[in-house]
Structure 1
Amino acid sequence: MTVDFRGIASPPPRITLLHPEDQIVQEMLDGWRNQQLSRALSFQTIAQREQIITRFLAFTNEHPWNWSPALVDEFFGDLRSTSGVKQTTLRNYQNTLSLFCGYVSDPGYGWTRVCLELFGTHPTQVCFEWNTATHVQEAEAGPGKRAFTKVELQSLFDRADDETIRIARHNRKGWLPAFRDSVVFKIAYAYGLRRNEVRHLETVDFTRNRHARELGSKGVFNVRHGKAMKGSAPKRRSVLTVFDWTPEILDEWEERGRTRMTDGHELLPSERGTLVAEAAFSPRFRRYRDELALSPGLDFHSLRRSYVTHLIEDGYDALFVQRQVGHEYASTTGLYTSVSSDYRTRTLRRVLDQTITDALNRKAPTP
């Protein structure tokens, strides 16, 4: 028998719970899930948070009304020493635990009264500024994360094309996924897309740009699954096609690959013709990167970093680049920009040459 204690001061009389501790914990998790659903958080976010709380419960072997800051220190100390989690992961876990504790200790939900009557104690907040990681800077990516150089990027694309040709020549059925992944890498770079944005691409998302008719029907890409703000729907944006080779890549894939995998609208479908999983591209990407002896700091997101960096290096206006990648603030775009030393040298040389030219052309003052 499951009894829902949410919103009531105490359990009904004459009802004895078989395992009150476990049932109360489950009711707490169910109530917290409903609270997050009412805030319009994604199902994936809610599920990940519940897994973190379940993991903390299993590690401590204590119920929420018995948690203490010492257990928090022990849990996260173990994560760092044995699992080597990154600071961003650590802070995400701690934020989740803090949110859960805030929910169960809020008098408005009645859990403090229920726990006091059943167990003689009640849950409290156990995450504080002095025992959790702080967010001290806007960018916390590891120092190895960077953009591709243009030479590295070309070698990755060539490796992906060679793999497709090799498999096709041996008449193996895996050539279509290899072909798809080759297109994925190029399109992710061509439009500066995130992984989730790439996998949701559909053929109907492309339109013409009347100011660039030479690009045909692939002049503008309408992103419908952009990164959402907290509790909001996916953010939309339009991305202009800037590389003249992009329509050719898309047209070749449409003609030779996509129609063999699906008859739907998915541009880059799975082998079953459905929406491809977000992690489907990673194994092949890492294998190509390692075979080319490229830096392990180059990940799939580096394609997006490269898009920003290369456009800035090629002289595109910073505000244009910011709008292309969908950043709210220019400072965020600046974090993605890792211009090469050659670009900085050329910039310095241009400024110095202009300064000297202005000095030589400056008229002498009249007496």
Structure 2
Amino acid sequence: MGWIAKSVNHRGQRRIAVYFEKDPVLIQRIKRLKDVRWSQTLQAWHLPDTEEYRIRFKINLEGYKNSNDQPKNQLSTEVEVQIEKFNQWLRSKRYSENTIKTYHDAIRVFLRFFSDKELSSIENNDIIDFNNEYILKNKLSASYQNQVVNAVKLFFRTVQNRNVDIDKIDRPKKPKTLPNVLSKEEIKAILEAHGNIKHRAMLSLIYACGLRRSELLNLQPVHVDSRRGVLLIKQAKGRKDRITPISVKIIELLREYYKAYKPAVWLFEGQNKGEQYSEKSLENVLKQALKKAGITKPVSLHWLRHSYATHLLENGTDLRYIQELLGHNSSKTTEIYTHVSTKSLQNIKSPFDDL
């Protein structure tokens, strides 16, 4: 199922805490349950400790208590202090808030698993046990395992714990998956689906400039340089600035949008003036476009970026330029698009045709 449920004593009440990797589908499913709440302290969803929920989440209550009748996964004050120091270190190094939250959540899950051990006694073999008994047992993804490994490495380096040999912690093998790409006809249908000019402009800009979701939402009107025909993308992934060409058609669309909405701070704002457009609302814009276009594939916003890169490659753009346009550190990241481009494949004749 990909989750772990444990009985906890939360604010004087017996509750069932449910831990799982961040997954929009699971979040929506658990939200439908009666009297479910999110706890920032537990970093988990929790429900009433009832017979129905015990059966539903397969809980053996005796297995989750220690001799003091306290939750077995409760973190000590010392560990909480160390986690806070870890957060402060990440902020001092200017990690993004998204990365800080990811590492924070990952290290809490890891340390909860060993809540019955002293922090100073955790060693490399414990990480292997965690991978086998938590990650693999619950069929969690390799990417999530990688996040935990990254968090553990950084955490023990910052809290100066030398029982963990940082260099001997291996990352999982990454599955070799190909990026999802849409045809130009499908892209056209998605971009033309909305009558609302703001919605159309947002989706069009993501595809036309190969933007990540956060890059679009962090744009300001001054970042559009219509005279030079470029878009300035500030402090993108890896804290890097970059520029990308922006077509005359997109500039015209943005001018039309700007006249209608007159954004004050951000290029795309929410219902309140000066308020940044939310990620969730942007995802809903895409969902509505897919529904209107009659596309049933599980398209995400990142598919538009993948399609931009692949279509550039098929049009003959050099990989080195595509790497710069996408803001990739390594050319190997960009080279994956050669595996989904159909330009060369279409010239290959199947031996079946000769039968």
TM-score of the alignment, normalized to the shorter chain, above 0.5: yes
Provide the TM-score with structure 2 as the length reference: 0.65
> By how many angstroms is 1:149 displaced?
0.8
1:246 and 2:250 matched: yes
TM-score in terms of structure 1 length: 0.64
Q: Is the 8 A contact 2:157 2:166 kept in 1?
A: no
In structure 2, relative to structure 1, the CA distance for the partners of 1:38 and 1:225 (3 Å cut) is closer
Counterpart among 109, 112, 125 of residue 164 in structure 2: 125
- Please report how far the alpha carbon of residue 197 of structure 1 lies from its aligned counterpart in structure 2 after TM superposition: 0.8
Of 129, 135, 141, the match for 1:79:
135
Q: Which protein, 1 or 2, shows the higher relative CO under an 8 Å CA cutoff with sep ≥ 6?
A: 1
What SS does structure 1 have at the residue aligned with 2:193? Answer: helix
Where does residue 68 of structure 2 map in the other structure? none
Taking the aligned partners of 2:203 and 2:123, their CA distance within structure 1 comes to 47
AA of the residue aligned to 1:158: E
Aligned positions of 1:150-229 closer than 5 A? 150-161=184-195, 164=196, 179-209=197-227, 219-228=229-238
Alpha-carbon distance in 1 for matches of 2:329, 2:121: 42
Shift of 1:203: 1.2
Q: Structure 1 151/272 Cα, relative in aligned 2: closer, same or farther at 3 Å?
A: same
What's the CA shift for 1:267? 1.2
Question: CA shift at 1:283, angstroms?
Answer: 3.1
Letter in 1 for 2:253: I
For the 8 Å contact 1:147–1:338, the answer to whether it is kept is no
Could you tell me whether the CA contact under 8 Å between 2:142 and 2:172 is conserved in 1? Answer: no
| Alpha-carbon distance in structure 1 between the residues aligned to 2:145 and 2:333 | 22
Give CA deviations for 1:341-363 in whole Å, capped at 9, x if unaligned: 3x2256679xxxxxxxxxxxxxx
Q: CA deviation at 1:293?
A: 3.7
Asked if 1:51 is matched to 2:105, the reply is: yes
Measured after TM superposition, the shift of residue 33 of structure 1 is: 3.1
1:235 to 240, 249, 257: 240
Q: Which residue of 2 aligns with 1:308?
A: 309
Give the Cα separation in 1 of the matches to 2:244 and 2:346: 28
Q: Distance in 1 between matches of 2:121 and 2:345?
A: 60
Are the aligned partners of 2:219 and 2:268 in contact in 1 as well (CA < 8 Å)?
Answer: yes
SS at match of 2:76: helix
Q: Secondary structure at the match of 1:316?
A: coil
Which residue of the partner structure matches residue 134 of structure 1?
172
Residue identity matched to 2:249: W
**How do residues 323-362 of structure 1 correspond to structure 2 at under 5 angstroms?**
323-337=324-338, 339-341=340-342, 343-344=343-344
Q: Which has the higher strand share?
A: 2
Flag the 1:265–1:85 CA change in 2: closer, same or farther, 3 A.
same
| Cα separation, partners in 2 of 1:103 and 1:326, compared to 1, 3 Å | closer
Q: Secondary structure at the match of 2:300?
A: coil
How far apart are residue 189 of structure 1 and its match?
Answer: 0.5
Q: For residues 319 and 150 of structure 1, what CA distance do their matches in structure 2 show?
A: 23
- Letter of the 2:235 counterpart: H
Deviation digits for residues 165-202 of structure 1 (CA, Å, limit 9, x no counterpart) = xxxxxxxxxxxxxx433221110011111111100111
- How far apart are residue 272 of structure 1 and its match? 1.9
Of all paired residues, the percent bearing the same amino acid is 21
- The C-alpha deviation readout for 1:132-165, integer Å capped at 9, x for no partner, is 54356xxx5644x31211011112123233xx4x
Residue 90 (structure 2) aligned to one of 26, 36, 60: 36
The 5 A counterparts of 1:284-323 are: 284-289=285-290, 292-296=294-298, 298-323=299-324
Letter in 1 for 2:266: E
Instruction: Write out aligned runs for 1:84-99 (5 A).
Output: 84-99=139-154
CA contact (8 A) 2:135 2:141 kept: no
Amino acid at match of 2:279: E
Question: For residue 255 of structure 2, what is the amino acid of its counterpart?
Answer: D
Gaps of 5+ in 2: 1-74, 350-355
Q: Which has the higher helix share?
A: 1
Kept after mapping to 1: 8 A contact 2:313/2:341: no
Q: Which amino acid aligns with 2:224?
A: F
RMSD of aligned alpha carbons: 3.1
